[in-house]
Amino acid sequence: MTAVTSRSEALAQLTAPGQPYELELVNVNGHPHRVFKNGPPTLRELFSENRSDETFLIYEEERYSFDMAYQKSCQIATLLVRDHGISKGDRVAISMRNYPEWIMAFAAVTSIGAIAVAMNALWSTEEMLYGLEHSGAKILFADPERVQRVLPIYQQLAIKVIAVRTDESLARDIPVLDSLLAAMPACEMPEVAIEPDDDVTILYTSGSTGHPKGAISSHRNIITALLSWELDGQSALAQLVDPPGDAPYPPATLLAVPLFHATGSHAVYLSSYRSQRKIVSMYKWDARLAAELIERERISSFVAPAAMTGDLVRVAIDTNCDLSSLATVGGGGAPRAPEQVKGIASTFARAMPNTGWGMTETNAIGTGIGGPDYLDHPGSSGRASAVVDLGIFDETGDELPSGERGELRIRGASIIRGYWDRPDANVESFVDGWLKTGDVAYLDDEGYLYIVDRIKDLVIRGGENIGCAEVEAALLEHDDINEATVYAVPDERLGEEVGATVYSTTPVDIDALKAFLGERIARFKIPRYIQVSSEPLERIASGKINKRAIREAAVSQFS
């Protein structure tokens, strides 16, 4: 590759005919899009072509090579096909912490043409009921905590539950995966014909109204995202005047974000196969333990929302742990404050910050920025991936020039084909091949994206999208609540917290109300701040609740 001085030059060379990242136009979801010509066609090939004896996955004292994990996935896949009749297109749900079984079950399900339903492990029993019924899942892999949540609804579900990390006595008639596999010999992956555009995952994402929506991705959607990150990395290296030599340690990453999010499943987990990158998985986030793991396992990369990377910066300053192996500290889910961007660069010996903008619906890609470029543009989410197009549109659907604010739309080969069993949401979200993101943004003259507001009624708490309407509906189930409005409250660590103002004619016990909500929605969705009004909530001329005015008045009291 000849020397280059710009990102566009690097991308042009790397994607040219005959190059590993060569691009070609392919019809995807009814529209021509740029795709990688030389990538694996499906996740099945991604897994099978990258078997090795290199260390793949570490969880506490357990260590698995790429081949060991693949062998276990072959057994699980055989179990699903032979004993449970799972076939192409069937949905299989996974709900658990970041255990090795999550990864092995996911590889098994997606390798046999079935659709992996990556359920939010924080969901309550009622939320699990909705997700399982809506997706039509035939099998649920669940850890002990999720098994307990599903027991009250088990009899009304036409589903088989397989438990992991538990013993027989905890789960009544629910079988345990280890017991099912104990007598099974080593085997090959069952033969199934899979096409690149076959559905492969359903990830639920909170919208501005009603229940979460199931975003459906194909093998091609996900493979496009994975190779896009690779291309961005190669492009950044190509622009360096003095490229670094061989890394002092083999590639290793810390898995501290949930696998049920596209960041965890794609940017951390699935991106590790082709690079043969070691994954060190945490049971739950603990900044001090993370620092110890980085030192012990010589972790080179860490990707997490701003709240977690900020925690790590603070611990790095206070601890004696050697974090010099870190080369990149990535972000996503919510923007970082510019001070944290500079803090990462100044705190770690060789790590540079990077971030990007993406959605579940884009398979987590969209824009990216890192290193000196990020330090120079700390408020930006970066420039567009080579395989997507960005546009800023006004309310009438006309595209706006650079510098003007409007709704951000995106199109490309990584974008989902739609929402599972939600034709109404598809009509609302897709226009002529463009996905309407619900974010208010602008693009500058150099193509840098700046997110400035959102149209969708969401709270983004530590990278978790929370639909305000869902929380409002749960509040209104309480007999004493006559009206409710939910909104975002700025928070230094998490970016935003959930706030609510409710109208009640009787005194409200806030703790009792939160306990009531805990039976209906996941804990992270329960408002941290609740304001009670003895008068009906303020409304605008159309009769709608004046959320903006109520939020402004409430935030001034909460802060």
Strands 464-467 and 458-461: antiparallel
In DSSP notation, 200-244 reads: EEEEEE--SSSS-EEEEEEHHHHHHHHHHHHHHHHHHHHT-SS--
Positive or negative, the CA dihedral 38, 41, 42, 46 is negative
Structure token digits, residue 464: 């978790």
- Is there a contact between 332 and 313 (Cβ–Cβ < 8 Å)? no
Question: According to the model, what pLDDT value does residue 317 have?
Answer: 83
Q: If you average pLDDT over residues 51-68, what whole number do you get?
A: 98
Q: Which amino acid is at 495?
A: G
Q: Which is more confident, 279 or 349?
A: 279
Ordered by where they begin, the domains of the chain are 7-38+215-454 (3.40.50.12780), 43-194 (3.40.50.980), 459-558 (3.30.300.30)
Would you call 443 helix, strand, or coil by DSSP?
strand
Helix or strand (DSSP H, E) at 47: helix 43-48
Strands 495-503 and 483-491: antiparallel
- Averaged confidence pLDDT in the chain: 91
- What is d(CA 305, CA 264) in angstroms, rounded to the nearest whole number? 11
Q: If you average pLDDT over residues 190-198, what whole number do you get?
A: 97
267 DSSP 8-state letter: I
Span 520-553, pLDDT tens digits: 999 999 999 999 999 989 987 767 788 889 998 8
Q: If you average pLDDT over residues 29-37, what whole number do you get?
A: 94
Reply yes or no on whether the pLDDT at 22 is more than 90.
Answer: yes
Q: Which amino acid is at 427?
A: V
Question: According to the model, what pLDDT value does residue 305 have?
Answer: 83
- What is d(CA 142, CA 163) in angstroms, rounded to the nearest whole number? 5
Neighbour-count burial for 419-442, b at 16+ CB within 10 Å, e otherwise: bbebeebeeebbeebbbbbbbbbb
* Residue 237 pLDDT level (bands cut at 50, 70, 90): confident
- What is d(CA 206, CA 349) in angstroms, rounded to the nearest whole number? 38
- Is there a contact between 354 and 325 (Cβ–Cβ < 8 Å)? no
- Is there a contact between 216 and 419 (Cβ–Cβ < 8 Å)? yes
Span 305-327, pLDDT tens digits: 878 888 888 888 888 888 889 98
Question: According to the model, what pLDDT value does residue 557 have?
Answer: 84
Question: According to the model, what pLDDT value does residue 467 have?
Answer: 87
* Residue 222 pLDDT level (bands cut at 50, 70, 90): very high
* Residue 158 pLDDT level (bands cut at 50, 70, 90): confident
* Residue 136 pLDDT level (bands cut at 50, 70, 90): very high
Return all residues near 359 (Cβ < 8 A) that are at least 6 apart. 205, 262, 366, 437
Return all residues near 71 (Cβ < 8 A) that are at least 6 apart. 186
* Residue 333 pLDDT level (bands cut at 50, 70, 90): low
Helix or strand (DSSP H, E) at 160: strand 160-163
- What totals of helices (H) and strands (E) does the chain contain, helices first? 18, 28
- Compute the 3-state secondary structure of the chain and give helix, strand, coil in percent, each to the nearest 5: 35, 25, 40
Q: Which is more confident, 464 or 98?
A: 98
Kindly list the strands in the beta sheet with 483-491, ordered across the sheet, starting from the edge strand earlier in the chain. Answer: 483-491, 495-503, 529-533
Reply yes or no on whether the pLDDT at 111 is more than 70.
Answer: yes
* Residue 62 pLDDT level (bands cut at 50, 70, 90): very high
Residues facing 230 on adjacent strands: none
Question: According to the model, what pLDDT value does residue 185 have?
Answer: 92
Reply yes or no on whether the pLDDT at 5 is more than 80.
Answer: no
Residue 193: how many CB atoms within 10 A of its CB? 8
- Which pTM value belongs to this model? 0.89
Structure token digits, residue 194: 């899979």
Q: What is the CA radius of gyration of the chain?
A: 23
Reply yes or no on whether the pLDDT at 332 is more than 70.
Answer: no
Residue 530 Ramachandran class (φ > 0 left, ψ -120 to 50 alpha, else beta): beta
Helix or strand (DSSP H, E) at 307: helix 306-318
**Whole-angstrom distance between the N-terminal and C-terminal Cα of the chain?**
54
Reply yes or no on whether the pLDDT at 451 is more than 80.
Answer: yes
- Is there a contact between 251 and 326 (Cβ–Cβ < 8 Å)? no
Q: If you average pLDDT over residues 503-528, what whole number do you get?
A: 94
Span 276-303, pLDDT tens digits: 999 999 999 999 999 999 999 999 999 9
Helix or strand (DSSP H, E) at 126: helix 125-135
Return all residues near 432 (Cβ < 8 A) that are at least 6 apart. none
- What is d(CA 470, CA 210) in angstroms, rounded to the nearest whole number? 5
Helix orientation angle between 66-84 and 100-111, rounded to the nearest 10 degrees: 60
Question: According to the model, what pLDDT value does residue 17 have?
Answer: 96
- What is d(CA 257, CA 273) in angstroms, rounded to the nearest whole number? 18
Reply yes or no on whether the pLDDT at 24 is more than 70.
Answer: yes
Would you call 122 helix, strand, or coil by DSSP?
coil
- What is d(CA 21, CA 450) in angstroms, rounded to the nearest whole number? 28
Span 391-428, pLDDT tens digits: 999 999 999 999 999 999 999 999 999 999 999 999 99
Reply yes or no on whether the pLDDT at 199 is more than 60.
Answer: yes
Residue in the structure block whose two tokens are 């975003």:
215
| Selection from 120, 127, 168 nearest residue 521 by Cα | 127
Reply yes or no on whether the pLDDT at 508 is more than 80.
Answer: yes
Question: According to the model, what pLDDT value does residue 559 have?
Answer: 67
- What is d(CA 309, CA 3) in angstroms, rounded to the nearest whole number? 34
* Share above pLDDT 90 across residues of the chain, in percent, rounded to a whole number: 70
- What is d(CA 214, CA 260) in angstroms, rounded to the nearest whole number? 12
Q: If you average pLDDT over residues 49-67, what whole number do you get?
A: 98
Reply yes or no on whether the pLDDT at 1 is more than 60.
Answer: no
Question: According to the model, what pLDDT value does residue 542 have?
Answer: 65
Region of poorest pLDDT, from 241-250, 251-260, 422-431: 241-250
Question: According to the model, what pLDDT value does residue 514 have?
Answer: 96
- What is d(CA 418, CA 216) in angstroms, rounded to the nearest whole number? 6
Question: According to the model, what pLDDT value does residue 245 have?
Answer: 63
Question: According to the model, what pLDDT value does residue 321 have?
Answer: 84
Taking CA atoms, 466 is separated from 128, 332, 554, in Å, by 16, 16, 19
Q: How many residues does the chain have?
A: 559
